[in-house]
Structure 1
Amino acid sequence: MPVPLLDVNAQNHALKTELRAAFDKVLESGRFIMGEEVEAFESEVGSYVGAKHAIGVSSGTDAILLALMALGIGPGDEVICPSFTFFATAGCIARTGATPVFCDCHPDTFNLDFTSAEACISEQTKAIIPVHLFGQSIDMKTCDAFARKHGLKVIEDTAQSLGASYHGKYCGAMSDFGTYSFFPSKNLGGLGDGGLLVTQDDQLAEIAVKMRNHGMHPRYYHEMVGGNFRLDALQAALLRVKFQQYPEYTRLRQHNAAYYHEGLADVNGLVLPVTDEGNEHIWNQFTIRVLDGKRDALRQGLLDLGIGCEIYYPVPMHQQQCFAHLADQARSAFKVTEQLAAEVLSIPVYPELTQSQKDEVIEAIRSLMS
Structure 2
Amino acid sequence: MNAVVDTLTLSYAQAAAVALTEAMEADPNVVALGEDLGRGGVFGQYRSPEGQSLAARFGPERVIDTPISEAAIVGASVGMALAGLRPVVELRVVDFALCAIDELVNQAAKNRFMFGGQGRIPLVARMPIGLWGSSAAQHSQSLEAWFAHIPGLVVVAPSTPADNYGLLHAALESGDPVVYMEHKELWGSTGPVALGSRVELGKARIAHPGCDLSIVSWSRQVHACVEAAKQLADQGIGAEVIDLRTLWPWDRDAVLASAARTGRVLVVHEAVQVAGFGAEIAATVAEHSGARVGRLGAPRIPVGYAPVLEDESRIGAAKVLKAAHALLQR
Tell whether the structures are fold-level matches, with TM greater than 0.5. no
Which protein is bigger by CA-based radius of gyration? 1
- Kindly indicate which of the two structures has a greater share of residues assigned to strand: 2
Higher relative contact order (Cα pairs below 8 Å, separated by 6+ residues):
1
TM-score bracket for this pair, using the shorter chain length: 0.3 to 0.5
Give the TM-score normalised by the residue count of structure 1.
Answer: 0.32
